[in-house]
Amino acid sequence: DTVEIKFTSGLVGTADYRAGKTGLPAVLLLHGFLQTRNAPTMSHLADALSDVGYPTLVPTLSLGVSRRNKSLSCEAVHKHTLQHDVQEISQWTHWLANRGHQKIVMIGHSSGAKDILAYLAGTPNAPVERAVMVGITPIEVDAEQYRKARAEQPAAPGQVLPLRRFTMAYCKHNYAATLPAYLSYADWTGDLILHQLDRIKVPMEIVL
């Protein structure tokens, strides 16, 4: 079934949900960079888990677009941040808990794994009993571009933020984003990922 949720941002998110067998942990599976819940990596895994009875929830991160149903292009307007992703993950987790799923496992792929890591790092009492991080590596950025962006002064409150073109993963100098939106993802360097992994108390597996 396709289910919907209204986020605190006012956007509407969608997910594929299968109720599964009572007593088994519910599995939340999160897609990678700019993709949707239909991306094969997580959707095929959800099919396999559902076939053996696990309840599954495969959401699409809104990335600033209500009911988003296709991958976002590099040239699209990217004002969404990693913090927005984390808020949406939190609401989906509460959605599962409110439907009686007291045991939740999270599986994230690529940038989805970093989103789950950020959620768990910032939510020490999250109702999650295990996490699986698939392909959790720093997102590729242009080192000099990132250094200059990090050195800039923060924008004044209320200042209109222009769109710029950055390098982000496979988006080569065409990732159209505001500076804070870009930095929210680019700041997750290898050192920060390792630091946050060391803080997490939830048992986890890392697949590279």
What is the full DSSP assignment across 112-151? HHHHHHHHHHH-TT-S-SEEEEES--PPPB-HHHHHHHHH
Backbone angles phi, psi at 59, to 5 degrees: -85, 160
Q: What is the pLDDT of residues 96-143, one digit of tens each?
A: 999 999 899 999 999 999 999 999 999 988 999 999 999 998 999 999
Question: If we measure between CA atoms, which residue out of 126, 129, 100, 131 comes closest to residue 113?
Answer: 131
Its pTM stands at 0.94
The DSSP secondary structure of 16-53, one letter per residue, reads EEE---TTSPEEEEE--TT--TT-HHHHHHHHHHHHTT
Residues 6+ apart with CB under 8 A from 6: 12, 13
Mean pLDDT of 26-32: 97
- pLDDT(181) > 80: yes
Task: List CB contacts of 206: < 8 A, sequence separation 6 or more.
Answer: 132, 133, 136, 197
Confidence class for position 172, pLDDT limits 50, 70, 90: very high
Q: Mean pLDDT over residues 153-176, rounded?
A: 89
Percent of the chain with pLDDT over 70: 100
Q: Which residue has the tokens 């990678």?
A: 32
* Model pLDDT, residue 121: 95
Say whether pLDDT at 59 is over 90.
yes
Q: Sign (positive/negative) of CA torsion 112, 116, 117, 118?
A: positive
Q: Is 152's pLDDT higher than 90?
A: no
CA distance 182 to 26: 32
Query: What's the mean pLDDT when you consider all of the chain?
Result: 94
User: Is residue 90 within 8 Å of residue 55, measured between CB atoms?
Assistant: no
